[in-house]
Amino acid sequence: MSCLTTFNTSTLPEVYTDTLIIGMGIAGLSAGIKAANYGKVLIITKDSFHESNTEYAQGGVAVVLSDGDSFEKHTADTLTTGCGVCNDENVRILVEEGTQRVQELMEWGVRFDKQDGKIAFGQEGGHGLKRIVHAKGDATGKEILRVLLNKAKATPNITLLKDTFTIDLLSTDGLCFGAIVHSPNKGNMVVFASNTILATGGIGQIYRETTNSMIATGDGMAMAYRAGAILSDMEFIQFHPTTLYVAGASRFLISEAVRGDGGILRNKNGERFMFKYHPCGELAPRDIVSRGILIELKETKSVFVWLDVTHLDFEYLKKRFPNIVKMCLAFGIDVKTKWIPVMPTAHYMIGGVKTDEYGQTNVNGLYACGEAACTGVHGANRLASNSLLEGLVFGCRTGEYIGHNPMLFQKQVISNKMIEDNIHKKINIPDVRNSLKSLMLRNMGIERDQKGLLEAKKSIDFWASYVLNKEFSSPASWELQNMLTVASLIQRAADMRQESRGVHFRTDYPYQDDAIWKKHIELCKTEK
C-alpha cells in the first residue's frame, strides 16, 4: 500500500468500530446518523466540530416544495446546467429523495425561514423558479450543522472525535478496513472499521483565493487515490462569481441569492453587462457569470466588478442577508448607498472519488459522499444550492446502505515504510503551499490553455519530487502532500479534456465537443 507515514498496525493503539466516517459536515453527519441505526459509528474531523464547508454555506438548499414546482422542473434545470454529462439516474435520486430529506431535517429541528407563516423560497442562478429554502437569512449551512451535530451527539451509537487528522486509509488487495489517524495528545492510532466513509469535503484551499473552509485541502481525494480508488471529473472546479473583494481580506462569499433577489452586476464603468453573455443576465449558471465577469475585468483592466443592491429595500436586505450586510459594513461598505466590489473565487469541487448511487467506490469497504465524492449529479457545472442537497441525500443513502449491507471485518496486520532522511526538515512547507496556491489560480483557474497547464505540471512535478516521498509528522505537512496530489490530478484531467464544457474552459479549445468529449475522465493509481 501507499501511505504518508511509517507504521506497523501491530504496534499502534487500536480502535474498533463498525463504521468510520472521516469528515463532519452535512454528508458525514447524515451518513453517521443513518448508519448508527445498525451499528457503532465513529465520526472524526481534523479540526473543530463546526469547521467545514457546510458551516459557511449561505444560499440554501434547492428542493421541490413550493407551489408550481415539480421533480421534472428541478431535474431539467440540473441537467441543463450540467452541460450534458450528468448521471441522469443519480439526478433523479437527488431531486426526488431531496424533498423527503429536507422534510426530515425540519422534523429534526432545522428552522428554515418563513414568510407569512409559510416557508420562504429564494431563486438563484440556473433555476427556473423559486425553490431555495434558507435559514437565518444567509446562514443556512450553520443552522443545518447545528441540528445534525445535536442529533449525532444525542445518538448512543455515535462517537464524535475532533482534532484528529486522518493520515491514510488502511487498504490492501482492493479492500479498505479503516485508517491511520493522528491526534496531538495520543499520536498515531489505528482505527479498524468494517466500513469507511470519506466525507472530507472539497479542495478550495489549493487555490490562492477561495470561499472554502481552511480544512478543505482535498485530503479524502488524495488518500482515496493512494488506496486505489477511481477519481472522476477532476477538471471541473466551480468558481463562485461573487465574493467580496477587499485587499487584505479573506474572500467572503456574497450569496447567489443576493442576485436572485435583484442584485445587479456592473463593470468598472458602472455598466450592467451580464445580458451580453446570457438571456438570464445575473441569474445565468455560475460558469457563464464567472466567465462574463472575467471578460469584463480584462476589457476594463480592473480586478473586480460591482454588485449593486442600492435599489433594493435596505430593511429587507438586513433581514434576508444579515451576515453579508454586517461583513460589508465592517469594511466600510454601506450596501444602502455603496456598490459591493466582487470577483470570482474558487468555490466547489465537482469531481472527486467516483461512487455509485449508494456511495460505494471501486475499493471494497470504502465509501464516499458529499463534495469529496463524484456521483455525477452536477455534470460539468453544479446548479446553485444542489450541494447541500447532494450531501444530505447521498450521505443518508450511504449510511442506510452500509446498515443493510454490512461488510465482514477481519483484522489485518500491515505496515508501511517511508524514506528516512533529514532533508524534509529543511523544506519550507508554507512557502511551497503558497506557491502551489498561486500557480493553481494562475494556470488552472476559470480559463486554462495547454501552455499554462504544461507549466503547472512542470512546477507540481518538481515540488512533488521532494515532498511526496518524504516522511513528515505534522498535519500541515500531510495537507501539503495531499494538495500536491490533488493538484496533479486536476492538471492531468484538465490537460486531457481538449474542449470547453461547463466550468472547464480551454481558450485553445473554446467549444464543447460532444462527438469526442461527452464522457468522463477517470484517474486511478495502478502502480504498487
Contact criterion met (CB below 8 Å) for 147 and 29? no
H-type alpha helices, 377-470: 387-404, 429-443, 450-467
Q: Which of 440, 423, 526, 420 is nearest to 483 (CA)?
A: 440
CA distance 10 to 35: 28
3-state per-residue secondary structure call for 418-431: CECCCHHHHCCHHH
- Cα separation, 355 vs 374, in Å, equals 6
- C-alpha cell read off for 103: 422534510
Measure Cα distances from 500 to 83, 136, 348, 487, 511 in Å: 10, 38, 18, 19, 5
Exposed/middle/buried for residue 528 (C-beta within 10 Å: 0-12, 13-18, 19+):
exposed
Three-state DSSP at 122 gives strand
Report how far residue 511's alpha carbon sits from residue 153's, in angstroms, rounded to the nearest whole number: 50
Q: Which of 236, 226, 234 is nearest to 522 (CA)?
A: 234
For residue 110, give every residue at least 6 positions away whose Cβ sits within 8 Å of its Cβ, in sequence order, or none.
135, 143, 144, 147
C-alpha torsion 30→36→38→42, nearest 10: 110
DSSP 515: H
Q: Helix H segments across 109-211?
A: 140-153
State whether residue 20 is helix, strand or coil: strand
Q: Which of 286, 397, 501, 506 is catalytic?
A: 286
Q: Residue 378 has which C-alpha cell?
A: 452536477
Using CB atoms within 10 A of its CB, is residue 233 exposed (0-12), middle (13-18) or buried (19+)?
buried
- Taking the mean position of all CA atoms in its chain, how far away is CA 336? 32
Helix axes 140-153, 26-35, angle to 10 degrees: 30
d(CA 138, CA 288): 23
- Helix H or strand E encompassing 311: none
Q: Is 503 exposed, middle or buried (0-12, 13-18, 19+ CB in 10 A)?
A: buried
- Burial category of 46 from C-beta neighbours within 10 Å (exposed 0-12, middle 13-18, buried 19 and up): buried
Can 506 be counted among the known catalytic residues?
Answer: no
Helix (H) or strand (E) holding 111: none
Q: Nearest-CA neighbor of 50 among 136, 140, 142? A: 142
Q: Which residues are catalytic?
A: 286
